[in-house]
Amino acid sequence: MLVVNNISFGYSKKKIVLNNFNFTLNEGQHLCVMGESGCGKSTLLKAIYGLLDLTDGKIFWKEDEVLGPEFHLVPGMGFFKYVAQDFDLMPFISVSENIKKFLSRSYPEESERRTQELLEVIEMKAFENTKVKNLSGGQKQRVAIARALAKEPELLLLDEPFGQIDNFKKNSLRRNLFAYLKAKNIACIVATHDKNDALSFADKLIIIRNNKILTSSHPLDIYKNPKEKYVATLFDDVTEITLNGNRILLYPHQIKIVEKSDKKAIVINSYFKGSYWLIEAEFESQKIFLNYFSTIKTGKEIYVLIDKKA
């Protein structure tokens, strides 16, 4: 189990980046950390890996305390792996050689088997003999993930792991990677801006704001009951309106167009989203967003039904 016990960290007394963080993570569990840029996501991963000396608090993995550069000549914990946004690969050797670099040369057959297994996970089999310097940014990102998995760490730390990967590859890679981690019982912490990392694959979700943990729970609970508008906007377009004297938050699918109701709105704009249109409208001098199957002419009057439970 990972225990993050009331940790704080600042690059100076005036610049506190992590303010009293406190949470746990079990073996094999997946945690997603979300929040706006600069909120402390990347710093949290560095602290957990042992790259920083904490201002306050302690971090433990099972019985071992995670200690920073003051205590280790080479910072970082051996049973963790951290994939940063700069990848840190060896550019002049091949993809497969980058992966094998962390595997034992005493067992070449096992090393080759593990390399081929990981090439399948990251969908890079066709590039195994390609030098890393000739890869795209997204391909390098996938190699960095495979290299981190070579020795099957107990905890994998990923900082925006799919940020440079094309959308048509991103979804299948996500499914492959998180299924592999579950099969191997490898715990994982992902710092991300992408709601799909959290909603589809995380067991726990932490939302950070202003360098503090704003909320922590199961992703479904946080999505359905956002603590405030900031939380909801991490997942979708959000309507915040006053209705019957109460301030409520609504996702677009919770506002529906109907033939008749006591609630009217005027369409302001329509945005094509692929399988649907996002309709922006004015309701009682307040802006609302809803999904619809087609575009609607600007200025048209529509009737809406609000279903907070949808």
* Domain co-membership, 158 together with 300: no
Would you say 252 and 294 are in contact if contact means Cβ atoms under 8 Å apart? no
CATH number of the domain that 208 lies in? 3.40.50.300
* Domain co-membership, 58 together with 127: yes
Return the C-alpha torsion angle 110, 115, 116, 118, nearest 10.
120
* Domain co-membership, 137 together with 271: no
pLDDT digits (tens, 9 = 90+) for 115-124: 999 999 999 9
Domain end among 194, 214, 229: 229
What pLDDT score does 192 carry?
93
Query: Could you count the other beta carbons within 10 Å of the beta carbon of residue 271?
Result: 12
How big, in percent rounded to 5, are the helix, strand and coil portions of the chain? 30, 35, 40
* Domain co-membership, 264 together with 198: no
* CA–CA dist 158, 137 (Å, integer): 16
Number of domains in the chain: 2
* CA–CA dist 178, 184 (Å, integer): 10
Segments forming the whole domain that contains residue 276: 236-306
Domain end among 197, 229, 261: 229
What pLDDT score does 253 carry?
95
Per-residue pLDDT of the chain (310 residues; tens, 9 = 90+): 999 999 999 988 788 999 999 999 999 999 999 999 889 999 999 999 999 999 999 999 998 999 999 888 777 888 899 998 887 899 999 999 999 987 877 788 888 999 999 999 999 999 999 999 999 999 999 999 999 999 899 999 999 998 888 888 889 999 999 999 999 999 999 999 899 888 999 999 999 999 999 999 999 999 999 989 999 999 999 999 988 888 999 999 999 999 999 999 999 999 999 999 999 999 999 999 999 999 999 999 999 999 988 7
* CA–CA dist 110, 226 (Å, integer): 47
Would you say 191 and 158 are in contact if contact means Cβ atoms under 8 Å apart? yes
**Where do the DSSP E strands lie in 53-154?**
56-61, 64-65, 80-83
* Domain co-membership, 143 together with 222: yes
Q: Provide the token pair at 259.
A: 């033939």
* Domain co-membership, 85 together with 154: yes
What pLDDT score does 59 carry?
97
pLDDT digits (tens, 9 = 90+) for 9-50: 998 878 899 999 999 999 999 999 999 988 999 999 999 999
Return the C-alpha torsion angle 81, 85, 89, 91, nearest 10.
170
CATH number of the domain that 251 lies in? 2.40.50.140
**Where do the DSSP E strands lie in the chain?**
2-10, 16-25, 30-34, 56-61, 64-65, 80-83, 155-159, 187-192, 204-209, 212-217, 239-243, 246-250, 255-258, 264-272, 277-283, 286-292, 301-306
pTM beyond cutoff 0.75: yes
Domain end among 180, 201, 229: 229
* Domain co-membership, 190 together with 292: no
* Domain co-membership, 154 together with 177: yes
* Domain co-membership, 18 together with 99: yes
* Domain co-membership, 243 together with 197: no
* Domain co-membership, 168 together with 198: yes
* Domain co-membership, 207 together with 243: no
Q: What does the DSSP 8-state code read for residue 214?
A: E
